[in-house]
Homo-oligomer: A and B are copies of this chain.
Amino acid sequence: MAESMTANKVQEGKINRCRTMDLIRTRPGVSRIEAAEALGLNRSTLTHIVNDLLASGFVAEEQLPSASGRGGRRPIGLKLTPFYLLGIEWQSRFIRITLCTLSGEAVYHKQVDTVSYGRSEFIRVVKEHIEILEKKFGCRICGAGIGLPGRINPHRGIVIESRPLEISSLPLAEELYEALGIPVLIENDANCFAWGEIEERKEFGGNLLCMLLEFHSSPESRNWDQEVGMGIVSRGSVYHGSNYAAGELPAAGGSADGRSLVLRNLKDRSSEEALEYCRTLFSSLEPVISVLDPEILILGGDFSFHRALFEPALKELLSRPWTFSGKGVWEVARGAASFFAKTIFTLPGFNDDALYRGGWEEVLHHKEER
């Protein structure tokens, strides 16, 4: 996969085409003028670029409901022609699948509970869904973003280590590409959450801290375990650290005094227990939050699923701005789709050996060819 790509300088000259596509994707219905202002380009530059994109078929015009204000020519809205992709959360006990547009709208949700940890079952389930969904929605799916627990190298598509899924040192993206027949990007689950929030919360400047509380079934004990993963957003992009281990706590949720933090079976827990749990957790997290100085703390996963349980504790303990994630339990799956979209619509600087560094052109053309 990922053909030769000429040389080093992928397509420096097409940066503004790429930025335009990304803008149209994230703000469907923008006019040429608005786009020009947003991108800092001349009106005529946008006319040229949009003409190219219209001709290539990736962009379409749409009638806008009404004129903007007082007089003047009615602007013409721009939107992507409909492309769909999968956003998937892969945990040891379940798979959550969403079908999304490139703009991030989810048109389909499905959770599948699984019994084995194997990749074969995962592949089978996803393959089935691709077939069903392409029929049901009459579309070609152009790719999939997959969020999974553990240390993931999303640029090369390698799982460095995932204990819940019992995988280590595996070029998973390539394997899935061959098995599924569509481009695949993989990323850590908490980071997927973070990618989703980047797209969701444009009102913020680009420094977020996304905390994901997730149940895992640990292979050794065959028992429920909890893990807190953090997605760090720095300057509008997810921070991976030097070993793709950023956001991981020293001992999973372990406190300094060795007391276990596991809070089994969240249903039927008292708010006192939740408070105690959160107190221990956030006492070791306080310096982290302080040092990272995020604009806002976003809590997802089981934090937001059991929000009634956690809310009083969090209100008491957190001094900085914070909020629950807004997408129910689908943050990771939908975030994985956001990650996929964001990646192919952002030219990856000089990141030579990344997957799909040809950007959206490579991926969307691929869709048509298969």
A residues near B (Cβ < 8 Å) are: 8-9, 12, 40-41, 204-205, 207, 230, 232, 234-235, 237, 239-250, 256, 283-288, 290-295, 350
Contact of A292 among B205, B246, B285 (CB under 8 A): B246
State the copy count for this chain. 2
Chain A binding surface, main DSSP class:
loop
A282 CB to closest chain B CB (Å) equals 11
User: Given A234-B234, A283-B256, is A292 in contact with B241 using a C-beta cutoff of 8 Å?
Assistant: yes
Chain B residues lying within 8 Å of A248, measured Cβ to Cβ, are 290-291, 293
Chain B residues lying within 8 Å of A242, measured Cβ to Cβ, are 204-205, 207, 293-295
Q: A234-B234, A247-B293, A249-B287 are in contact. List 14 more A-B contacts (CB 8 A).
A: A8-B40, A9-B40, A12-B40, A241-B294, A242-B294, A242-B295, A245-B290, A246-B292, A248-B293, A249-B291, A250-B286, A256-B283, A287-B287, A288-B288
Q: List 5 A-B contacts (CB under 8 A).
A: A40-B350, A230-B291, A246-B292, A249-B290, A250-B286
Chain B residues lying within 8 Å of A243, measured Cβ to Cβ, are 293
* A246–B8 touching, CB < 8 Å: no
**Please, how many angstroms separate the alpha-carbon atoms of A234 and B242 in the complex?**
9
* B293–A245 touching, CB < 8 Å: yes
**Please, how many angstroms separate the alpha-carbon atoms of A207 and B42 in the complex?**
36
User: Given A40-B9, A41-B9, A239-B234, is A246 in contact with B293 using a C-beta cutoff of 8 Å?
Assistant: yes
Q: Which residue of B lies closest to A284 (CB)?
A: B287
* B246–A291 touching, CB < 8 Å: yes
Q: Which residue of B lies closest to A16 (CB)?
A: B12
A187 CB to closest chain B CB (Å) equals 15
A71 CB to closest chain B CB (Å) equals 25
**Please, how many angstroms separate the alpha-carbon atoms of A288 and B240 in the complex?**
14
A318 CB to closest chain B CB (Å) equals 13
Of A207, A247, A292, most buried by chain B (CB within 10 Å of CB) is: A292
Chain B residues lying within 8 Å of A295, measured Cβ to Cβ, are 242
A227 CB to closest chain B CB (Å) equals 13
Chain B residues lying within 8 Å of A40, measured Cβ to Cβ, are 8-9, 12, 350
A323 CB to closest chain B CB (Å) equals 15
**Please, how many angstroms separate the alpha-carbon atoms of A239 and B207 in the complex?**
10
**Please, how many angstroms separate the alpha-carbon atoms of A269 and B246 in the complex?**
36
A278 CB to closest chain B CB (Å) equals 15
Q: Which residue of B lies closest to A247 (CB)?
A: B291
**Please, how many angstroms separate the alpha-carbon atoms of A230 and B250 in the complex?**
19
Chain B residues lying within 8 Å of A292, measured Cβ to Cβ, are 241, 246, 291
